[in-house]
Structure 1
């Protein structure tokens, strides 16, 4: 039935003006070209050309076939070019899932230069996978997972991107603002503001308060970082966030970081992806750029 070669033949005969010249352009013999079109005409039950003297004139069916060729062939050429780019890692779609609420601020600083460097790659950020990132990664719903808590599964790879310190953030006039570090029991009189995450996923609970048998006076949930830190700055509560994020916001708000415990809480951000995708050029480039951008946010991290 109708194949790409038939469209190429019709298009080139019209462009070149003869079967001989069209055959030369398509790198086939004239007899092979004629045989191919004759067979198509027999299958379709209609003629593509009619001969007028020494020239070939397209029939109504041939005119329609030329119209199809002029529309379809450029699309096929484009598709082949895109598939070649995909195979070489030059073009694609990078879907990023977030399991780290405050990391969105950092991600913006990675995505901006990445889009400039990879103009043929579309980037999508999915924050709804905050509670099911591993499943989304395994199920091909996302390509990269940003998480502070990697869950190692067969077929997945996690790359550490940067270290950071989880700290308590308080208003500048808060009693905690001048101390060297916080003790768990000091949280019993505080309103703790956090993102809408289960407490077993909050470091201040599972690495600081709960091991000491401590809970805050009250726990309040706020979805956005900006509002959360506005509340902290106004003395409405305290929160636990990465030091680099607190340092950034401290340039605009009256807030300060306080170490959680004498040793502090050391954390890492990881990028997780499927092992089968690890050789994709644009994904490798994203990981490399993420690692390069990150250090300027962690310069105040204290070991």
Structure 2
């Protein structure tokens, strides 16, 4: 029988490569570690690892256990963290990952009533630019994923919570504001300012410029929305952002925007979550608040 300790041992061996370092990381003796894994090897009559010099290398059987460990151990850690929260008098933490970097302001409008409705629940929002949202959702590092580009998998449910239009934003004196909409070829001499993510994850490239075989003269990357808008307002470049964000910006008087293409670039924001159970009800409650917030805004 494979137990949790076996998963931890195989994971440690894969990470550290030697019996000595793995035992040290797990606060076990080498003898105890070796004895535990011998039971598994004897039960299934297969070796879990082999020696290559001083390094231990996982066999096919070991790699199979490692795959299980990578899936299951984070679930144990998440459940234990929730139990500790409950023991401290708190119900837990709702962890939200963001792949829509300019949507933080929208998210705050949902987080506020959620915190009021669940005073014993904390909210943790992760919006790193290198963030691998779907992997984090599968790995139980987050509970919800806010994304405009859902990758539909059998294990994930997505709920559409917000429709918006991505527009080209420029300073008030820009010549493109004389046009009813912007064509891809009209950006050939422009400096584009965006978040620091790869081009394939930027809608202006993946859905507008690249399909037309076009690009921009220069591409600059800045982490914060406020600085991007200030740079655009001062005539240092153009950017592509949700139209609602520009309408609510403090720089709105200095900015203008036009649709990307004759029909515009329409997007939908989704909340993704695992299809497994939500025993404390945090995920479902947050999605309901997000939907009700959107309905109020559309009335």
Q: Which position in structure 2 is the counterpart of 1:132?
A: 132
Q: Secondary structure at the match of 1:249?
A: coil
Q: Which position in structure 2 is the counterpart of 1:287?
A: 287
1:15-34 alignment, distance < 5 Å = none
Distance 1:162 1:102 in 2: 13
Give the C-alpha shift of residue 131 in structure 1: 3.3
Q: Which position in structure 2 is the counterpart of 1:277?
A: 277
Matched, 1:176 2:176: yes
Change (3 A) 1:295 1:175: farther
1:105-127 superposed Cα distances (whole Å, 9 cap, x missing partner):
11111111111111011111111
1:92-111 superposed Cα distances (whole Å, 9 cap, x missing partner):
21001111110111111111
Q: Secondary structure at the match of 1:216?
A: coil
1:153-190 superposed Cα distances (whole Å, 9 cap, x missing partner):
23211111111111001111111123210011100011
1:100-249 alignment, distance < 5 Å = 100-128=100-128, 130-249=130-249
Kept in 1: contact 2:85–2:92 (CA 8 A): no
Change (3 A) 1:127 1:275: same
Larger radius of gyration between Structure 1 and Structure 2: 1
Distance 1:95 1:222 in 2: 25
Q: Specify every segment of 5 or more residues in structure 2 that has no aligned partner in the other structure, as ranges.
A: 1-82
Distance 1:92 1:116 in 2: 15
Kept in 1: contact 2:169–2:255 (CA 8 A): yes
Q: Which position in structure 2 is the counterpart of 1:264?
A: 264
Distance 2:120 2:195 in 1: 34
Q: Secondary structure at the match of 1:276?
A: coil
Change (3 A) 1:264 1:151: same
Q: Secondary structure at the match of 2:160?
A: strand
Q: Specify every segment of 5 or more residues in structure 1 that has no aligned partner in the other structure, as ranges.
A: 1-78
Distance 2:85 2:202 in 1: 47
Q: TM-score, normalised by structure 2?
A: 0.67
Distance 1:245 1:106 in 2: 9
Kept in 1: contact 2:233–2:251 (CA 8 A): no
Kept in 2: contact 1:194–1:221 (CA 8 A): yes
